[in-house]
Structure 1
């Protein structure tokens, strides 16, 4: 089942048939290389990637040998599951061979809470730009947007003037994975000519 051709076809399928974005397809490729390495070393004759015993060993390999955290393990298992779906779709394995119901359930690990700045720290940051210059006013607007509506740096970088709707006081944001959303923003109260 380590057949390179099948893996390439699966990766093409994820991007060109399912319509996964290139970054998602790249993540699948990375995950499948990890899985391939595991199989090459521990299961060279493996013919069914859904075998529960193999998955238990794979999880141990991810956690112990690779020192992957819970979210990385979950993602790699999700990729493997998508690969199994593909193998069933292409009739390489049958639904009767699918052992995913026997896979161990991974416990959710509590996510680390983000560190929150105190109000005085935020104010210190917001007063840093020199608002007597155009770049300083831009920087102040960027910092205010990041703070007030929680934008990612990538969302700020992709922001275009045409995305700002001054009258409605809202901004069209291009989010992760190309998703769009509108946000109301206090920054729009600023003079748009400054």
Structure 2
């Protein structure tokens, strides 16, 4: 089944990865893979909610309510952390910024997706060693040997 020319979702996805991420933004291979995985999960989710296939998705299937439900589903069904959810949100935002550039008639639809807020997640405070613990570590290397002097150098520089 061929894609309808008036709804270039697949062409937009291709230009997002080829032109926007790699050429314009110079994204790393890791970023490209993470964004690819996010869009794959999003499109599978959208197709499942419509009882359709990914090949039948259209640009207007990508709307704020669907994306918000997808982000909620990541946490509830897939047990993703809030940080992972926010990373997936960032990938979707990047895709929507590209869509605004290439699909101007639907810019308002994509702007609403961009307005979805990140969820606050608890940041772990750094823990520090007590003075006695630092002394215990620094007492370990045997400074009479070359390797001990090396180890002391490493320990002191940390």
Question: TM-score range with shorter-chain normalisation?
Answer: 0.7 to 0.9
Task: Decide which of 137, 140, 146 is 1:128's aligned counterpart.
Answer: 140
In structure 2, C-alpha distance between the alignment counterparts of 1:130 and 1:82, rounded to whole Å: 53
Question: SS at the partner of 2:136?
Answer: helix
Question: SS at the partner of 1:98?
Answer: helix
Query: Per the alignment, do residues 122 and 71 of structure 1 end up closer, same or farther by CA in structure 2, a change over 3 Å counting?
Result: same
Q: Check conservation: 1:39, 1:46, Cα contact below 8 A.
A: no
2:16 corresponding residue in structure 1: 10
TM-score (norm 1): 0.61
Structure 2: gaps of 5 or more residues: 1-6
Q: Report the count of equivalent residues.
A: 146
Q: Check conservation: 2:21, 2:27, Cα contact below 8 A.
A: yes
Higher relative contact order (CA 8 A, sep 6+): 2
In structure 2, C-alpha distance between the alignment counterparts of 1:137 and 1:29, rounded to whole Å: 48
Aligned pairs for 1:87-102 within 5 A: 87-91=99-103, 94-100=106-112
In structure 2, C-alpha distance between the alignment counterparts of 1:23 and 1:102, rounded to whole Å: 23
Q: CA deviation at 1:65?
A: 0.9
In structure 1, C-alpha distance between the alignment counterparts of 2:60 and 2:144, rounded to whole Å: 66
1:19 corresponding residue in structure 2: 26
1:69 corresponding residue in structure 2: 81
**Runs of 4+ that moved beyond 6 A:** none
Query: Per the alignment, do residues 128 and 68 of structure 1 end up closer, same or farther by CA in structure 2, a change over 3 Å counting?
Result: same
1:41-90 Cα offsets, whole Å, 9 max, x none, are 22443523651210221122111011112221111111101001112212
Question: SS at the partner of 2:127?
Answer: coil
Q: CA deviation at 1:4?
A: 5.4
Structure that is richer in strand per residue: 1
Q: Check conservation: 2:74, 2:80, Cα contact below 8 A.
A: yes
Give the aligned CA root-mean-square deviation in angstroms. Answer: 2.9
